[in-house]
């Protein structure tokens, strides 16, 4: 099983909007899994931002609404793995009181 790069847990109340921004292109980011206490909002978007992070030209934006209390997780997949080497994955923990 590939190792996930785990970010520090974030705390958010029910109803909050969580946005994840990840630098990409040449790699492409997708949501590989999301806990039921989070609901994706719309479609992911990509903003052209050359030079923001060396070797990338875009920023991928993902938004989620917190719909219930508990502890949730969002797992993102990068293909090809550029920033998240060697696994190609980042994991975000969300704690909702």
What are the residue ranges spanned by the domains of the chain?
Answer: 5-96
Residue 76 has pLDDT above 90, yes or no: yes
Neighbours of 50 (CB within 10 A): 9
Question: For residue 6, what are the CA distances in angstroms to 49, 55, 60, 90?
Answer: 25, 22, 18, 6
pLDDT at 2: 45
Instruction: Tell me the per-residue pLDDT of 4-50, one tens digit each, with 9 for 90 and over.
Output: 578 889 999 999 999 999 999 999 999 999 999 999 999 999 999 99
26: its two tokens: 């040449």
Predicted TM-score (pTM) of the model is: 0.89
Class of domain 5-96: mainly beta
First-last CA distance in the chain:
31
Residue with tokens 């992070």: 53
Cβ atoms of 72 and 37 within 8 Å: the answer is yes
pLDDT at 3: 52
């Amino acid at each position: 099983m590939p190792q996930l790069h785990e970010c520090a847990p974030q705390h958010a109340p029910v109803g909050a909007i969580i946005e994840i921004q990840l630098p990409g292109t040449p790699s492409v980011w997708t949501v590989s899994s999301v806990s039921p206490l989070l609901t994706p909002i719309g479609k992911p978007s990509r903003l052209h931002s050359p030079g923001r992070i060396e070797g990338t030209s875009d920023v991928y934006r993902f938004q989620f609404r917190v719909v219930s209390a508990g502890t949730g997780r969002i797992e993102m997949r990068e293909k090809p793995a550029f920033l998240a080497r060697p696994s190609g994955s980042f994991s975000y923990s969300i704690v909702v009181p």
